[in-house]
A = this chain, B = another copy of it.
Amino acid sequence: MTAVSATDSILGNAAALACRECGAQYPIGPRYACDMCFGPLEVVYDYPNICRDTIESGPRSIWRYRALLPVPDDVLDTPNMEPGFTKLIRADNLARELGMRRLWVKDDTGNPTHSFKDRVVAVALAAARALGFRVLACPSTGNLANAVAAAAARAGIRSVVFIPADLEQQKIVTTAVYGGTVIAVDGTYDDVNRLATEIAGEEEDWAFVNVNVRPYYAEGSKTLGYEIAEQLGWRLPEQVVIPIASGSQLTKVDKAFTELGKLGLVDATPYRVYGAQAEGCSPVAQAFRAGLDVVRPVRPNTIAKSLAIGNPADGPYVLDVCRRTGGAVEAVSDEEVVDAMRLLARTEGIFGETAGGVTLGVLRKLLANGQLDPDAETVVLNTGDGLKTLDAVAPVVTPSATIPPSVEAFREVIEQLC
C-alpha cells in the first residue's frame, strides 16, 4: 500500500512518518511535526501479508493487531496493561427504544483504567521505549492521566503527569494512587498544556504521549476499528458514531476500516462515519454545518470535559472523513448528554461517561433529523466510564422513594411505583 520499507524499523511494520499536509516523509523517530510545513506526521506502514487466523490466534488485547501498529516485534514480552478487545455489545433494548434495526455499543469501560486511553497510551509507551525515551509524561485532566500513570506503573518506568492545580480531588487521587510524579500547575488547562509542550522540547528522554510521540500514540485508536470489524465477524458496520475531542480517534477508526479493506481482511463495503460533540464545545460540528473546511476554535463550556478541546487538531480531517463517507457531525446540549447517559444505563446496563452520552445523544439527534438510517447496522462508541463523571448525573438520579423500615411503608410506596 506504500512504497516505504520497514526492513530496518524498530517499530515493527511501521516504515516511516509522513506529513499529512505535504506528504514529506521522515524515518521512524521521535518527531511529530513536518520540518517543511509544520503539518502533523502520521505513521505509514510496509503492510504485511496478514490473515484473519493470525489475528484470531493472538492475545485478547490490542496486541493481536500488533502487525498493524507502530510497536516493536517483541511488544508482548514487556509487562503492559494489555488493553483492548473490549466488548461489542448487541444493544437490542436500546435499538428498540430508538426504533433501530441493529445497534451495537463498543464498550471501552472494560479497559484497565476504564477508558479508551489505555489503548493509545499502550502504543505510545511501547513506541517510546523502543525509541529510547525513559519517562512517560502527559498534560491531562482525567482519563489520559489515569492511563499514563497506570501504564507506567505496570511497565516499571517513571511517569510525570501535569494537571491543573484546581482539579477535583477525586481526579487527582485516581492518578496519584499509581505512585508516579503528579505535578499540579497553578493555571488553566491551557497553561498546563503549554508548559508540557515547552518541557517536551527540552527533556530529550521524556515522551509526552500526546505531544512528542503523538504520531504513535494516535495509531492506538485504530484498534477500535479493527475490533469492531473482527467482532462483527470480519465485516464493517454501515454506520459508526464516534465522539470528537481532538478528532484523532474518528480519523483512526476510518483508517482502520480502510486498511482492513485493502488488506483483504474484510470486504471493503461502504460505511458512514458520524462525529459527535457537545454543543458547549462543537467547533467541528459548526464547521460541518457551515460547509467549511477549517475549524474555528471555541472556548469549551460543557459537562463533557473529556471532549472539551476547543481547538481540535484533527478537526479538518474529521470533516474530510465524515463528508467523504456520507456521514455528518452533530452536537447535543448538556441536558441531552445526561438524558443519553441515563438511556444507555437503563436499557443496556452500561454506565458510560459524559463522552458516551454525547455520542449516543448525537446518534439520537441524527435519527430524529433523518441523517442516520435506522435500518442500517450501526455501532456507537462508549469510550469511558460513568464512575469518573458522577457529577454529571448526580443531580437528576435519586432514589425512587424514602421509607421507614417497615413492610407497611414498603407496601404503600411500592404500589405507587408500579
Chain A residues within 8 Å of B, Cβ to Cβ? 60, 79, 81-82, 87, 90, 92-93, 109-110, 112-114, 149-154, 156, 160, 163, 165, 169-170, 172-174, 176-179, 181-187, 191-192, 194-195, 198-199, 202, 341-342, 345-351, 385-388, 390, 393-394, 397-407, 410, 413-414, 417
Contacts known (A394-B173, A407-B198, A407-B202); A178 close to B346, Cβ less than 8 A:
yes
Q: Are B183 and A151 in contact (CB under 8 A)?
A: no
Can you list 28 A-B contacts (CB < 8 A)?
A: A79-B92, A81-B349, A93-B153, A93-B154, A113-B349, A113-B351, A114-B114, A114-B387, A150-B350, A172-B397, A172-B399, A174-B386, A176-B398, A177-B346, A177-B397, A178-B349, A179-B346, A181-B417, A182-B400, A183-B399, A183-B400, A184-B402, A185-B405, A186-B403, A186-B405, A191-B405, A195-B410, A198-B407
Q: In whole angstroms, what is the CA distance A220 to B150 when docked?
A: 30
Q: Are A185 and B397 in contact (CB under 8 A)?
A: no
Nearest residue, chain B, Cβ from A406? B195
Kindly provide the distance from the CB of A166 to the nearest chain B CB, expressed in whole angstroms: 10
Kindly provide the distance from the CB of A221 to the nearest chain B CB, expressed in whole angstroms: 20
Copies, count: 2
Q: Which 10 pairs show the lowest CB-CB distances between chains A and B? A: A179-B346, A154-B349, A150-B349, A187-B405, A191-B405, A153-B349, A184-B399, A184-B402, A182-B399, A176-B397
Kindly provide the distance from the CB of A171 to the nearest chain B CB, expressed in whole angstroms: 10
With contacts A174-B351, A194-B405 known, what are 14 further pairs, Cβ within 8 A?
Answer: A60-B60, A79-B90, A114-B387, A153-B349, A165-B402, A172-B397, A177-B341, A177-B342, A178-B345, A178-B349, A181-B400, A185-B402, A186-B403, A385-B387
Q: Contacts of A150 on B, CB cut-off 8 Å?
A: 345, 349-351
Q: In whole angstroms, what is the CA distance A347 to B169 when docked?
A: 22
Q: Are A185 and B404 in contact (CB under 8 A)?
A: yes
Nearest residue, chain B, Cβ from A191? B405
Q: Contacts of A81 on B, CB cut-off 8 Å?
A: 349
Q: Are B413 and A183 in contact (CB under 8 A)?
A: yes
Q: Are B173 and A393 in contact (CB under 8 A)?
A: yes
Kindly provide the distance from the CB of A152 to the nearest chain B CB, expressed in whole angstroms: 8
Contacts known (A79-B93, A342-B177); A192 close to B347, Cβ less than 8 A:
no
